[in-house]
């Protein structure tokens, strides 16, 4: 599974430009599903056992945070706006890659208050050119952070673990899943990082009876970190609440009961900031009972997001347990 994760996290795909990720996913799952369609927004919907009773939607987003060029000056330096929640503290000196492979380095202006994090207007992209005519990008071009995958034992580090790790979990679940008793809808969504934009239309089209998103969450296990009862290696976290949603208690109970029955370690997530596709799915049509299975992740929205392989494998195991039996909520 590490090989799949490496391929996913190193694939270029900022919000709104998820095509390369979608093509990779298509190739991985086409032999394991009954039908597969591309949504008008560019999401990938795959169904197993269509018409098989209860419709369960599993969702993970393909996009990653990135930047979009907003201005080019006479010397060829460019300014940019973020696509999603880019952490400005980690930007300086990092590399950005564009769709055609063009690379740039993020620089920062000299500032009088150097002890404070830079502001967006202090940052620029350096393409190694000396004029606007030689600049290889134009206003509106999108870029994503460039950082290779590494494994530190069981700890995996890369850009875009948010949420390519969720995508990997859904693919692995598909590979291992036996024929389910119900209809399972796998939704690989788009534009989550810029406002959960793809998940709502996906759920409207698929019209599920219940839904579980798979995404990352913060941890409380680093020095002077956020006060949160989630740690790397403690098992997948079952979301109870985040800033934009309260998980349906029936979905929480479903995940907890299946985890306990199978002896799968798990944690409970109460997230102060941020949300997932589950929040958008929950508000679709007349409402969808929704929850989220979260992968503990350190350094979210930086070029070095860290997850634990044990949590990833346990998340797959829990989804397989949920899918192996009838679902009544």
Catalytic residues: 192
Report the C-alpha gap between 180 and 158 in whole angstroms. Answer: 33
Q: What angle do CA 90, 93, 96 make, to 5 degrees?
A: 85
200, 281 in Cβ contact below 8 A?
yes
Helical spans, DSSP H, in the chain: 2-9, 19-29, 161-176, 199-206, 249-262, 277-282, 309-323
Report the C-alpha gap between 74 and 179 in whole angstroms. Answer: 60
Q: Is the omega angle on the peptide bond into residue 163 within 30 degrees of 0, that is, cis? A: yes
Report the C-alpha gap between 244 and 224 in whole angstroms. Answer: 25
Dig out the tokens for 302 from the structure.
Answer: 């930086």
Specify burial of residue 126 (Cβ count, 10 A radius: 0-12, 13-18, 19+).
middle
174, 49 in Cβ contact below 8 A?
no
Dig out the tokens for 32 from the structure.
Answer: 């394991």
């Amino acid at each position: 599974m590490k090989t799949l994760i490496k391929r996913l996290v190193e694939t270029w795909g900022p919000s709104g430009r998820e095509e390369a990720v979608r093509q990779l996913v298509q190739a991985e799952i086409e032999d394991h599903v009954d039908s597969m369609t591309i949504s008008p927004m560019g999401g990938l919907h795959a169904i197993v056992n269509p018409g098989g009773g209860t419709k369960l939607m599993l969702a993970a987003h393909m996009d990653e945070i990135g930047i979009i060029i907003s201005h080019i000056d006479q010397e060829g330096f460019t300014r940019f706006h973020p696509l999603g929640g880019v952490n400005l503290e980690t930007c300086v000196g990092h590399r950005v890659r564009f769709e055609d492979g063009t690379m740039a380095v993020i620089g920062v202006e000299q500032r009088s208050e150097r002890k404070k994090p830079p502001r967006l207007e202090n940052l620029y992209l350096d393409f190694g050119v000396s004029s606007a005519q030689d600049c290889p990008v134009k206003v509106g071009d999108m870029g994503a952070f460039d950082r290779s995958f590494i494994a530190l034992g069981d700890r995996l580090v890369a850009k875009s673990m948010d949420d390519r790790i969720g995508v990997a979990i859904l693919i692995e679940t598909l590979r291992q899943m036996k024929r389910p008793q119900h209809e399972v809808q796998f939704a690989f969504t788009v534009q989550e990082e810029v406002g959960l934009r793809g998940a709502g239309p996906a759920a409207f089209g698929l019209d599920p009876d219940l839904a579980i998103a798979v995404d990352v969450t913060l941890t409380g296990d680093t020095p002077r970190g956020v006060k949160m009862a989630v740690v790397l290696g403690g098992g997948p976290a079952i979301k109870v609440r985040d800033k934009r949603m309260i998980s349906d208690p029936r979905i929480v109970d479903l995940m907890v009961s299946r985890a306990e029955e199978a002896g799968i370690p798990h944690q409970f997530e109460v997230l102060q900031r941020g949300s997932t596709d589950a929040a958008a799915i929950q508000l679709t049509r007349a409402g969808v009972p929704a929850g989220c299975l979260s992968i503990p992740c350190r350094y979210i929205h930086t070029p070095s997001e860290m997850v634990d392989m044990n949590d990833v494998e346990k998340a797959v195991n829990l989804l397989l347990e949920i899918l192996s039996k009838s679902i009544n909520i």
